[in-house]
Structure 1
Amino acid sequence: MDLLAHPVKRKRNADRFGDANGRKKIINQVIFTDCIKNKKMTDIEIQSKFDDINRKLDIVLEEVLAQKQSRQTVEDLVTDVSLIGSDMFKATVVELDNAGIDVDGEALKQLVFKLIRNIDTINEMFGMLESANDLIKDVTPIIHQVGLDSINKMNELEQKGYFEFIAELGRMIDNVVTHFGAEDVKKLSDNIVPMLELVKSLTQPEMLQAFTNGVNVYKNLNTENIPEYSLWKIMREINTPEMKKGMGFMITFLKNISKENK
């Protein structure tokens, strides 16, 4: 775009300063005439008054000139922007025409109206995007740290053999599934409550203590060197307190089993 094809006529600063100085001379002439009429004032007083008035006028004229320059600058900027916008619009129209693109002015106007009407929604959408971006920035270090902790924990479990244990447990379950059919599973489900009751009873402290005592006795028993007992020796052993107590335990145990089976 050739912006120089539209020159802007501006008034030069020298002319502005000339106008200001002209006004200043007129004011000084009026003041001088007034001072001549007032014969009571001396030349020194008149000159002092002139200097004071000139100083104030300089300040006022500088402020007026600054405001005028600022206004002129804004006007020049508006003019230049208008020219640039006009040239850009013409260039855009030419480019669209060369590309074979037809722009519906009514549709474009409706789009602009929709954008203006939904400006609050657009602002909310951008606010949500900013919040999401902040959330991602805050969560990313946490996710990174969680990933590192998970990797370290998995490595620790692998070192302890958890994965091998789970693999063997899978093999055990596979063997159970292979050797037992659907009918066996059905029977197990039908009898699961009595089995759990049995397990509950076996896990009582007194039962566990009894099992522990029996295991300890069997472990301390020398099965390879069992003494032989004759009938006479058996009769003698029956009369010992230990055998009497053991026989009493067996008889009581069998009697209680018989009562439970009735």
Structure 2
Amino acid sequence: MEDISIQSQIDAINRKLDFILEEIMAQKQSRESREDLISDLSVIGKDAFSHTVSQLDKAGVEFDGEVLAGLLVKLIRNLGNINELMDTFESVHDLIKNVTPIAHQVGLDAINKMAEFERKGYLDFIRELGRVGENITTHFSPADARDLADNIVNILETVKRVTKPDMLVAVNNAIAVYGSLDMQNIEEFSLWKAFREMRSPEMRKGMGFMVNFLKNLVKQQELRQKRQ
């Protein structure tokens, strides 16, 4: 039994030694492969360097080893910055990939909205407004525009007063009355008939309105002249 146990231990030791030898051989082969690769790359690098120097010499370009060494030092020194720059490029690339579908959809929405405006006639309306602007610039000079700028406050004040509800009602009444008149068949009045009409309540109110209107108009003119 002891002989069998010793033999088993020896076999186990032999297997371990075989495994160790296989690992050593594998490492040796790997080292030899690396050395061969380094040797081949060294030869290729030397050939490439010689070819590059030859081509530069033929092209009349002077090769300065110190400049190249300085460039390599700068590259090594700025590897961190180069890495950050590459990260930035990757971020920009990702941003473009994310924004492109959104921009595409926005473009489609804009095209659809413009088509909708075209169907509703908004674009035609805007074009006609352009013609309005052309007519204004054609019929009015820069001096007219300056006068408008100088008097815009008075114009807006006038518009403000005219657009009051009572003023709008009065203007609408005047327009309605004027529209109801038949200008081709206006009744003629003699002096006597006009005198009799002036005795009517409507004419008295009308005359009172005209007298008060003219009196107040003159007062406003006098006040404005005093202010000036």
What are the within-5 Å matches in structure 2 for residues 178-257 of structure 1? Answer: 180=141, 182=143, 184-257=144-217
Q: Please tell me the root mean square deviation across aligned C-alpha atoms, in Å.
A: 2.9
> Aligned pair 1:112/2:72, yes or no?
yes
Contact 1:201 1:207 in 2 (8 A): yes
Q: Of residues 95, 104, 112 in structure 2, which corresponds to 1:135?
A: 95
Q: Give the Cα–Cα distance (whole angstroms) in 2 for the partners of residues 250 and 59 of structure 1.
A: 133
What is the letter of the counterpart of residue 30 of structure 2?
Answer: V
The ranges of structure 1 where at least 4 consecutive aligned residues each deviate by more than 6 angstroms after the TM superposition are none
Partner of 1:69: 25
How many residues of Structure 1 are paired with residues of Structure 2 in the alignment? 215
How far does residue 176 in structure 1 lie from its aligned partner after superposition? 2.1
What are the within-5 Å matches in structure 2 for residues 94-173 of structure 1? Answer: 94-99=50-55, 101=57, 103-159=63-119, 160=121, 161-173=124-136
Gap regions ≥5 residues in structure 2: 223-228
What is the letter of the counterpart of residue 40 of structure 2?
Answer: I
How far does residue 118 in structure 1 lie from its aligned partner after superposition? 0.6
What are the superposed Cα offsets for residues 117-157 of structure 1, whole Å, 9 maximum, x if unpaired?
A: 11001111111111222222233333333333444444444
Q: 1:176 to 1:157 in 2, by over 3 A?
A: farther
Contact 2:198 2:204 in 1 (8 A): yes
Q: Give the Cα–Cα distance (whole angstroms) in 2 for the partners of residues 233 and 136 of structure 1.
A: 90
Contact 1:157 1:163 in 2 (8 A): no
Question: What is the SS of the residue equivalent to 1:191?
Answer: helix
Q: Give the Cα–Cα distance (whole angstroms) in 1 for the partners of residues 134 and 56 of structure 2.
A: 72
Gap regions ≥5 residues in structure 1: 1-43
Q: 1:165 to 1:62 in 2, by over 3 A?
A: farther
Between structure 1 and structure 2, the one with the greater Rg is: 1
Q: Give the Cα–Cα distance (whole angstroms) in 1 for the partners of residues 195 and 56 of structure 2.
A: 124
Q: Give the Cα–Cα distance (whole angstroms) in 2 for the partners of residues 186 and 67 of structure 1.
A: 99
Higher RCO (C-alpha 8 Å, min separation 6): 1
Q: Of residues 72, 75, 80 in structure 1, which corresponds to 2:36?
A: 80
In percent, how many aligned pairs have the same letter? 40
